[in-house]
Amino acid sequence: MKLSVVVICWNDLKVIKDCLESIYKETSAIAFEVIVSDNGSTDTSVEYIREHFPRVRIVENGANLGFARGNNAGIDVAQGEYVLILNPDTIIRDRALEKLVAYADTCADGGAFGCRVLNPDGSFQNPARPLPTRFGALIAALNVRWLEKLSSVFESDLYYDWSGRTERTIGFQSGCCVMVRRELLQQLHGFDERFFYHFEETDLCSRIWKSNSKVVFYPGAEITHLGGQSVGRFPIRFALETYRSRYRYFFKHFGRNGLIQARWICLLDLWVRHIGYSLQRLLWPSEALENRLKMYRILIGWNWRLDPIQFIATGAEPDFGYAPLAPAPSMVE
């Protein structure tokens, strides 16, 4: 078996149909399997897949385990030489999986592989990013990413002025579509299940780099990702969950000092954004801007009142009425 495609599902009936159809339509030159790891869907996703895609192997988790645990459940039963982690709201284009596998076969020092990810309108979604650092986060917070044109020392949270049309090594690839050698995944024990929402793929790719394997971007394979689109609404609960994962990531990879510094950089970033969008609202008021500013006010308050050391040690955090999506994990080894 050359490739195992693991698709996580949680009430994704509306999109997973097209995703699975595109996989089978655009993949025939390699031996592959599709595994759907279902996180307790209640929208008849499982029944539909069984009826219309009988070749799909379904792993029923019975509850929403999150991205990391849900994907690990699929990875555990995968048989392919490569494992592709694929979001259900994606569409495979022009034999993309065959091309990505063929490229990986020629890249002996590559442990993980990313491809071009496009928005529905064909624009580049920018799925490949540098690994987070404190200095890079500061550059992004100050909105001076253009300094990277002067020197790579100023690398921030994205590759400035890059459209994903060239092959390159990258820090990490978005979890909407990232392929990893199965043997390496097993050595690293898959995703770190202490991350429930965001930073799972970032952490995995960081560990891949530390294992002396590369994360490589290949522009010759393209998919469409329906997510990542601005719809004028900013769910505060999920934004807070991203910050929780962000602190756990910085503690895991940079220790206590990195954690404390990350909090101040987060606050700086949020204040800069709040000031910028407040000025924009004066000129072009809209409901979307009001929603965004409300989110920033809550995020600023939450981060300001947070004791990051206690948060990592016990999960304690200020109560703003947005409970965590999952119980706080122990991050202390």
Task: Encode pLDDT of 262-284 as tens digits.
Answer: 999 999 999 999 999 999 999 99
Find the Cα–Cα–Cα–Cα dihedral 74, 253, 211, 198, rounded to 10°.
Answer: 30
Using pLDDT thresholds of 50, 70 and 90, give the confidence band for residue 146: very high
Whole-angstrom distance, CA of residue 273 vs CA of residue 234: 14
Task: For 198-219, write each residue's pLDDT tens digit.
Answer: 999 999 999 999 999 999 999 9
Which of the four pLDDT bands, split at 50, 70 and 90, describes residue 48?
Answer: very high
Tell me which CATH code domain 3-126+164-225 carries: 3.90.550.10
Report residue 221 as tokens: 């394979």
pLDDT value of residue 39 = 96
Average pLDDT, stretch 64-68? Answer: 93
Distance CA 71, CA 85 (A): 7
Domain ranges of the chain: 3-126+164-225, 132-161, 236-314
pLDDT at 232 over 50: no
Alpha-helix runs per DSSP H in the chain: 13-25, 45-52, 66-75, 96-105, 134-141, 182-187, 200-210, 236-283, 287-305, 308-314
**pLDDT of res. 30:** 98
